[in-house]
Structure formats: structure tokens, C-alpha cells
Amino acid sequence: MSTVRLLVGTRKGAFVLTSDGKRERWDVSGPHFAGWEIYHVKGSPADANRLYGSQTSGWFGQIIQRSDDGGKTWFQPGTPPGETTTPEGMPKGDSNKFTYDTSAETGKPLTTHQWYDGTQHPWEFKRVWHLEPSLSDPDTVYAGVEDAALFRTTNGGRTWEELSGLRGHGTGPKWQPGAGGMCLHTILLDPKVKGRMFIAISAAGAFRSDDAGKTWKPINRGLKSQYIPGPEAEVGHCVHRIAQHKSRPDTLFMQKHWDVMRTDNAGESWQEVSGNLPTDFGFVIDVHAHEPETIYVVPIKSDSEHYPLEGKLRVYRSKTGGNEWEELTRGLPQSNCFVNVLRDAMAVDSLDKCGIYFGTTGGQVYASADAGDSWAPIVRDLPAVLSVEVQTLP
């Protein structure tokens, strides 16, 4: 029978939740890296036991962790190829080094971006928000960071290099931080078109590269954001999350600050599909593993009230690719619930029926083993959940 492994990042450590394919009983291990903020943990599609984690702290900066045994043991992969560890056997710290590339050969000058008060502010590295392993190579991983930029390792996390074409796109001075910081939070690797990838930045918008990250194009036509001076500007939109089904990579679904959107031409133009949602503010969006037109969101009341409407935690599902939404409530709290579901905190497994998972800022991780029809908490009292990823293992 298959195994399902959830990788949960929280404000105070990482947790690994494991179940068999029934998804009824779960083993919980953790906290790993206790006391640290774990923004994201994700496994390699090419090697399920290869995991990467972003461990971060306002005090001590950024640490990259790696596991080669599915999360049982972890290490910092920082000793560069060809170099040795210290005489005491200590790994080096290069895996934690995220330095913007300003070199004449491959880099771009370090410019400024717009600050909250409208002034320009220097670009400063703060943390890694999202780790996206390559679809085919366990040693290659992309990292989305704050202040927004894209990094890549090709040696299993030992060293990281910036793909500076994104930060140096030229629109950088118009980018600005969202409430959580100016973060690159979404990375989608196209499974069909070689070298194509999509990223999203809050608050700059969505971008696409067709040459493996060397050059980038803003893909925000059709987005309308009333809170910026030019509601239909090329950049400046607060995109919260983008999701894609691997069978139709040109179709993307977006949860924007306000509005749920879709594109069917790889981002060339977007249409709003909020339809009958009770509020179209939210953070997460995901796609059913086997039905590319079935999508999920968790509506949140507003940008000033980050919790569900009426204290009722409801997932909304559309089986029509948007516009027509049904509320899913069975097993979810329907009174006095005032948690949030953050942008990286929803994931789907690939079993049949498709499993849907999400974590809350209240520390609950909910699971549905029937594509959202019913829900049950796996755990109720973790630290605030920042991210949820799932691995479906044979």
C-alpha cells in the first residue's frame, strides 16, 4: 500500500506526518530544528528521500537543511565539491550563503525597490521562502527568497547562485513588499516545455522564463489591483499563489490578494474566476491531482481581517476551473474559527481518491482523503503552520 508523507513547516520547527494510503492514522515526528522558523520543506520528485528545508531566524539568518533519508536525519550540505570539512569534521557554511550576483559576467547591479512609504529601499537578503526541487535531478533546486530573487543549486544545496535576470529585469524599482515582505514565494517548473518556469512575487506579480531562468517576462495582463496607482500596471500586483496541473501546464490558477484568476495561455492574459466565492481574498490555491479543472481555495475575510468569514473554516472547490464554487465544510470547524491559511500551506497527494491537505496559523493540519468532501484534523496543536507539502510514496 502507498505511503503519504506530509512535510510541515511551522514557526517553531518542522514536522513529518506519515500515513498509509488510507490516510486515517498518522505518525508525527518532530519538531525538527526546534525553535526555528521553517518556511518550507520539499522533497525531490526524482528521489523521494531527498528533502530540502529552509530554516530561518530573525536573529541568526538563513540555514539550508537537507535529508537523504526522507526526513529521519538532516544535515547542512555546505561543504563545496572538492573541499574538505574542518579537521573536526564540521561541514562548512556555504550552503547558507545567498549573495546577490552583482558580477560583471553573470550578475546585475544591486538596485532598490519601493518601500512601504513609497521611497526606494536597498535590496537586502532576508530568508528563503520556497524551495522547488528539479523535476529530474535531485541535486538541482530553485530557491525563492526575500528580498525577491531566484537562486539555484546544482550540487545538492552545497552552494547557491543567483539567476540574476529576474532581479535585474528592470522593473525592480516598482516592486514593493507585501505585508509579509518582498518575497518570491511560488516557483513552478513546466513539465512539458523545457526551460520554462513561472514564479510569483508579492508584490510584483507573476513572471515567466522560457530560457531556464536567464531572462524573464512579466505575465500580469488581466490582473486588476485597485490598491496600486495603476490598477492594470505591468508589475506591482500582490500575487499570493499560483497553481498548475502537470497535464496542462499552460493553464495556471492564481489566488491574488483579491481575486481568483486563471490563464490558459501560460500567463499571456488572465481572467477572473472568483464567481460565487463569498470573498475572493485568500492565500492558497491548488489543483486536484487527477482533474485539471478541479481547484481549491480557502476564502479569507479581507486583507485587514486574516480569518475565515463568520468564523467558519470553509474550503471552496470548483469543478469547472473557477466561477462555480461549492463550499466544503464537513469536518471543519463552523464556529469561532479565526485562523489563517498561508500561501504555501496547501498540498494534494496523487492517490485515488485525491487527498487534500492544509495547515493553519492555529497549528491544525487538516486532511481530506476524498478530494475535499470530508475533512479531519491530523494534528491540532502544532505551532503556526507556514507550509505543507505532500509526497505520495509507493
Partner 1 sequence: MIRVVLPAHLRALARVKGEVTVEVEGTASVLSVLDALEAKYPMLEGTIRDHATRVRRPFLRFFACEEDLSHEPVDAPLPEAVVNGKEPLLVIGAIAGG
Binding site for partner 1 (CB under 8 A): 35-36, 57-63, 76, 78, 85-86, 88, 90-94, 96-100, 125
Residue 112 to residue 335: CA distance in whole angstroms: 45
Considering the complex, what minimum distance in angstroms separates the CB of residue 103 from partner 1?
13
- What gap in Å lies between CA 15 and CA 32, rounded to an integer? 6
Dihedral, CA of residue 155, residue 157, residue 159 and residue 161, to nearest 10 = 90
User: Could you tell me if 139 and 156 are in contact, meaning their C-beta atoms sit under 8 angstroms apart?
Assistant: yes
Q: Which residue's CB is nearer to partner 1, number 62 or number 255?
A: 62
Q: How far apart are CA 110 and CA 211, in angstroms?
A: 22
Residue 327 CA: distances (Å) to CA of 189, 200, 315, 324, 355: 30, 27, 6, 10, 17
Q: Rank residues 106 and 276 by Cβ distance to partner 1 and give the closer one.
A: 106
Task: Give the nearer residue to partner 1 in terms of CB position, either 56 or 263.
Answer: 56
Q: Is the CB of 29 or the CB of 99 nearer to partner 1?
A: 99
Cβ–Cβ contacts within 10 Å for residue 34, how many? 11
Query: Taking the complex as a whole, how short is the minimal distance between the CB of residue 49 and partner 1, in angstroms?
Result: 23
Residue 51 forms beta bridges with which residues? 43, 67
Rounded to 10 degrees, what is the CA torsion of 374, 378, 380, 381?
A: -160
> Closer to partner 1 at the Cβ: 84 or 304?
84
The amino acid present at 311, given as its one-letter code, is G
Q: Evaluate whether 204 touches 148 at the Cβ level (below 8 Å).
A: yes
C-alpha cell at 173: 524599482
CB of 95 to partner 1, least distance (A): 9
DSSP 8-class letter at 95 = G
In the bound state with partner 1, the residue whose beta carbon lies nearer, of 94 and 280, is 94
Phi, psi of 95 (to 5 degrees): -65, -15
**Smallest distance from partner 1 to CB 346, Å:** 29
State the residue for C-alpha cell 528592470: 170
If phi > 0 it is left, if psi is from -120 to 50 it is alpha, else beta; for residue 121 that is beta
User: What's the closest the beta carbon of residue 69 comes to partner 1, in angstroms?
Assistant: 19
Q: How far is the CB of 152 from partner 1 (least distance, A)?
A: 17
Q: How far is the CB of 27 from partner 1 (least distance, A)?
A: 24
What CA–CA distance (Å, rounded) separates 25 from 108? Answer: 50
Q: Is 314 helix (H, G, I), strand (E, B) or coil?
A: coil
- Nearer to partner 1 by Cβ, of 113 and 127: the residue is 127
Q: Which residue, 97 or 121, is less far from partner 1 as judged by CB?
A: 97
Minimum distance from residue 304 beta carbon to partner 1 (Å): 24
- Least Å distance between CB 297 and partner 1? 33
Q: Which amino acid is at 315?
A: V
Nearer to partner 1, 76 or 186 (CB): 76
Asked if 364 and 379 touch (Cβ cutoff 8 Å), the reply is: yes
